[in-house]
Amino acid sequence: MRRVLPEHQLGVVVYLTTPPRSPERVTNRRLRYMHPASHKIRFDLCAFSIIQETVARTNRPLTPRNEPVQLTDKVIIVTGGGHGIGRALCQRFAQERPRGLIVASLNPDAAEEVAKEVSGIAITGDVCDEAHVKHLVQFAEERWGGVDLFCSNAGATVKGGAETPDDDWQHLWNLHVMSNVYAARAALPGMLARGHGYFLQTSSAGGLLTEVGSAAYSVTKHATIAFAEWLSINNRRAGIRVSCLCPSGVHTDMLDASDPVHQFLQSHAVTVEQVAECVVQGLAEEKFLILPHPEVADFFAAKPTDYDRWLHQFSRMKEKWDRPRKQRPAA
């Protein structure tokens, strides 16, 4: 049975599909469109004129893109910039000659040391405090006229499952989720007014997959990605870009050599410099997911394909990690 979609539905589809290049591509009196997720959507030919008029009226690309992201002469804020990945990001960004670079950290000595190295400005404070995040953005606006790239990188972890104390749950929630909300509240209005801006939010492979050794870390890093998705979807057409950095094992102080899970991560860990280089490339390509470990993409792709099998495999891995290691007999 032939079916014509209501005009209000066609208006939505215009922004999700690409019109055919020529009328010759219309066959058998049916008009075909291809959805980005490769789902074929068909419309009656009589709807063609409505869609053409809508596209002509908008007179703009269906998915507008800015020029490739260049960090030269940009204003950048990096939280958690005194150590680990944050420090490497500051060092790598400095090579691009930004106009302004703020190194934000809880540790004043570490912030000052990195800021001196990269010719940046150190600001000490806690990103769990919204007033501090507002101060970072206000400082950048007053000194350089705005923020081009806000990197929410501060993070921490605690071991444990459901028994983890409420205070630890709340701390990781504030650190991994609310700090990103505060950054958006503070920086987004100015970015929207200028028509461009970028948020880089550091999550984890544990946010895409899981972290079997820490329920609070896994849950809050999942939430980091969820907020980043929302931020991207709601502001993409206004010129705002969002990326999520999701590394697996990285050679930082967060790797605990006594933890069986971390021992596994250590076996294929990358350096912070490699992560920073991957970030610069990912920003230039405007990738939402920045994955320094290619295998994470494979694990993530397998998750929705067969969720139960994926859960079973991770359960077996956890069982293996929990198994006590046999002591070698003394020689």
Instruction: Please list, in sequence order, all residues whose beta carbon lies within 8 angstroms of the beta carbon of residue 121, skipping any fewer than 6 positions away.
Output: 100, 101, 102, 103, 115, 139
Q: Please tell me the distance from the alpha carbon of residue 224 to that of residue 212, in angstroms, as a whole number.
A: 17
Residues 144 and 249 in one domain: yes
Residues 46 and 180 in one domain: no
Residues 44 and 101 in one domain: no
Burial 221-241 (b: 16+ CB within 10 A, else e): bbbbbebbeebbeebbeebbb
Q: What is the pLDDT of residue 240?
A: 98
Q: What is the pLDDT of residue 72?
A: 95
Q: Is 128 inside any structural domain? A: yes
Q: Is 283 inside any structural domain? A: yes
Q: Is 22 inside any structural domain? A: yes
Residues 17 and 139 in one domain: no
Residues 102 and 189 in one domain: yes
Residues 224 and 98 in one domain: yes
pLDDT along the chain (331 residues), means of 10: 42 38 41 41 40 42 54 97 96 97 97 97 98 98 97 95 97 98 98 97 94 94 98 97 94 67 67 96 97 92 91 84 57 45
The reported pTM is 0.76
Q: What is the pLDDT of residue 261?
A: 61
Tell me which residue range forms the domain holding 43. 7-58
Q: Is 68 inside any structural domain? A: no
Q: Please tell me the distance from the alpha carbon of residue 328 to that of residue 201, in angstroms, as a whole number.
A: 44
Residues 193 and 81 in one domain: yes
Q: Is 329 inside any structural domain? A: no
Residues 195 and 257 in one domain: yes
Q: What is the pLDDT of residue 7?
A: 40
Residues 82 and 13 in one domain: no
Q: Tell me the CATH number at 299.
A: 3.40.50.720
Q: Is 310 inside any structural domain? A: no
Residues 31 and 107 in one domain: no
When divided into structural domains, the chain yields a total of: 2
Q: Please tell me the distance from the alpha carbon of residue 3 to that of residue 51, in angstroms, as a whole number.
A: 16
Burial 47-61 (b: 16+ CB within 10 A, else e): bbebbeebeeeeeee
Residues 227 and 176 in one domain: yes
Q: Is 63 inside any structural domain? A: no
Residues 168 and 298 in one domain: yes
Q: What is the pLDDT of residue 212?
A: 87
Instruction: Please list, in sequence order, all residues whose beta carbon lies within 8 angstroms of the beta carbon of residue 195, skipping any fewer than 6 positions away.
Output: 238, 239
With residue 133 as reference, give the H or E element that holds it: helix 130-144
Q: Is 314 inside any structural domain? A: no
